[in-house]
Chain A
Amino acid sequence: MATEETSIQLPVIELDHVNKHYGDLHVLRDVSLSVEKGEVVVVIGPSGSGKSTLCRTINRLETIDDGRILIEGRPLPEEGRDLAAVRAEIGMVFQSFNLFAHKSILDNVTMGPVEVLGRPRKEAEAEAMELLRRVGVAEQAQKVPAQLSGGQRQRVAIARSLAMHPKAMLFDEPTSALDPEMINEVLDVMVELARQGMTMVVVTHEMNFARRVSDRVVFMADGQIVEEGSPAEFFDHPQSQRARDFLDSIKGH
């Protein structure tokens, strides 16, 4: 069987000529992208460029109209247990944290392992504590989300995803809802993850993060991938006028 060997080289995430509309609005235009194992891909672009939508199609929080999405070479299932199983293997971190408001921090992190993977609670809690320590919020384990700062909540959200031992993680503007002084505490955790070889797709406005950490920068505008390349290439020698305009517009920041 050839699949056994080739699956190792297959991209973890692959989008193939993906299109999506919201009514008349063409939000994703023929988007193709592949993310290799261990790669950190940063998606940037002006607001409304479709970058968040792109990120959300990967675990089907958004549906697509046509094209294909492959996870480790297999088409993303459209519903049911198969879809849930794929989602369990892909972590997702949202702009607005989306912690479960009625659960303690610890329960937020153990929810996935206990409910989805069926792991014993004791074991899941021990690992959750370890993860919370790693992201620096172990002391808050018994509190509820509302008692934490935005930065702390986002780190909990990352721990919640990590508890599922994901093959890849999606970050949908993870620092956009944070006060400036909290951005770095979240970015630091993400840098650490990247260093450990996590496959990551990161939609962000943090250009420093993109430049320092990413393996590849993807620039989107009007639902299209306008250009992609290494951070050095992209930031120092952008090929397209759109990208140059965009980089100029954010230079002040």
Chain B
Amino acid sequence: MSSHTDTMSMRDALFEAPGPRMRRNIRVGTAISLVLVAVALGLVVQRFYLTGQLAAKYWTFFGQASTWAFLGRGFLGTIQVALVAGVIALVLGLVLMLGRTSALRPVALVSRVVIDFFRGVPSLLLIYFFFLVVPQYGIKLSSFWMITLPVGLAASGVLAEVFRAGVNAVPRGQVEAAMSLGMSKHKITFKIVLPQAIRFVIPTLISQLVVVVKDTTVAYVVSYPDMLQNARVLITNYDALVSTYFVIAIIYILLNYLINKASVAVARKTGTKIISRTSTAAV
């Protein structure tokens, strides 16, 4: 029966099965906290009501198909940036990881500096680099690349570390076995180690997509029509700032929530873990 307690989550284990006195305390605590939650919700609604934000004109345009079509186009823009930036980050992250684990000292050092750099600066700063600095050198980028490149670069540093964790998770014995078969180092890396490492980090890669999606929201800086930028257009059209920003925020939260759920589901299915220690991105 020990399996029963092993699967029990720690958050339930901190308090033991209540006796009668504790059960009464929990009932009272539940009642009080329910009242507090209701009061808090009431205050929020009251605030919306007192400032007239519950008026129909602020909300009815969300019933129109055209609103959603417009937001949908923005959503597609967001997805485009996120996916292309994701691909850039995947490729560059893999290259940086291979560089960092390279036997050539200078290559390893440069890769390490690049990784630490991309992990250590805010993606907003990289965006300003492509928006304000790059044009000073006569390089003309479309707004799509002005947002996609920095978002991809920022993620590549993290992904390089994720890949490295994946490589480290491949049992050493396999490399030794391959070496004893006389396989070349190159072949071992690409045929034995990498395929397994990548399979191991797939859930983590999915969860990192959340960071990419969040970073895309700065697209308005470069006037790229992503969802947030289109929302700003809606706000000017309908003069409905509060409702629009709240609806948009909820959409982003749901999108990222689903991405997280997906990564957990994949992790569970493949029996792998989500590596969170390498991430420093919270924006």
Contacts and interface: CB of A to CB of B under 8 A. Distances in A.
A contacts B: CB pair < 8 Å: yes
Interface of A: 22, 27, 48, 50, 52-53, 56, 60-63, 77-80, 83, 95-96, 172-173
B19 A80 contact: yes
Nearest to B25: A79
Interface in B1-42: 1-2, 4, 16-22
Instruction: Indicate the size class of the contact surface on chain B.
Output: 10 to 19
Contacts of B21: 78-80
B20 A27 contact: no
B17 A50 contact: no
B175 to A, nearest CB: 27
A172 B16 CA distance: 19
A78 B19 contact: yes
Interface of B: 1-2, 4, 16-22
Contacts of B2: 52, 95-96, 172-173
A27 B1 contact: yes
Contacts of A79: 18-22
29 contacts: A22-B4, A27-B1, A48-B1, A50-B1, A52-B1, A52-B2, A53-B1, A56-B1, A60-B16, A60-B17, A61-B16, A62-B17, A63-B17, A77-B19, A78-B19, A78-B20, A78-B21, A79-B18, A79-B19, A79-B20, A79-B21, A79-B22, A80-B19, A80-B21, A83-B19, A95-B2, A96-B2, A172-B2, A173-B2
A95 to B, nearest CB: 6
A77 B22 CA distance: 13
B22 to A, nearest CB: 5
A62 B17 CA distance: 8
Contacts of A22: 4
Given A22-B4, A79-B19, 16 more contacts: A48-B1, A50-B1, A52-B1, A52-B2, A60-B16, A60-B17, A63-B17, A78-B20, A78-B21, A79-B20, A79-B22, A80-B21, A83-B19, A95-B2, A96-B2, A173-B2
Contacts of B17: 60, 62-63
Nearest to A22: B4
A62 B18 CA distance: 11
Contacts of A52: 1-2
A173 B1 CA distance: 11
A77 B21 CA distance: 11
B10 to A, nearest CB: 14
